[in-house]
Structure 1
């Protein structure tokens, strides 16, 4: 596939949305066509509000997120990659594995089995994990949603989940210290990308 698929992951408050925007601008400045997108809500727009505001079981959360992801892959990500775009997504499957798997306690084999059908096997070329202690991440959140109100112990499990995923796939993950200034994090992302760019 001609395009380049990049994702940003991490706890709420880690700076993913900011860095996704900066990354898209960096790629555009180098002359690449860019598609900037995000989950949840990239495939089914109403899912984001539903998952973040309704009192749902972990299973319902994951299945709704998977339905959104299935549409996102088929209607946004794959078409963008086929057009040769650099696709930058603020969250993807790793978020669900970390939040609903490690955080909410759902079994990873089941999550991965559902994900196979939802994602058609699509994986990012690189995933930038913005790593941040939970107390710092939560302190940055201005208006906490339903998951963010689950507190530091939940977010510590999510963080440990992300780090376990990164350890399992070191060739895909780039773990960055999100306590560093925004500009430094952006430069680190760019430095890792340069060898992949034309």
Structure 2
């Protein structure tokens, strides 16, 4: 590890699976805005799997942005400098170039629900018809919820009652209010999901 570079054990475990799944979802030459990038390891894995992508990481935390920029040095210019974005701040999307997709991993369960609302609200302003939001992480699915995710939900709420593993139907309802329709559900390792939401024309 060098310079400002940080490493996340969870990113080390899941970045390759995420990269492979996203590789089949993103259009050729897609411009991707990543929300809550953390260390920046997902960005590097994704552009390695799809060299045609242009990836912009973001995070409200300065140390995370510095780490993402350090990892990006290995990407031959395909990862832009990390942006300071906090999706709980209204209007966070103003002044940004429109991406083709917004990606967010492991954020909405360790943040207040307002973060999910801000994510979709801002994405609705940024993305045109055919654009998509891709969310990775644990989700509850009613009676079909994995026991490990129920335990994780309880542990999160014990740490902060505003946190918790989100019910997939509640995320879909939020997305619909912001003009997005469910566009895919991919089962991922360790009882995680990659959920996709497409921006509807005229929304």
TM-score (norm 2): 0.38
Instruction: Between the two structures, name the one with larger relative contact order (CA 8 Å, sep ≥ 6).
Output: 1
TM-score (norm 1): 0.38
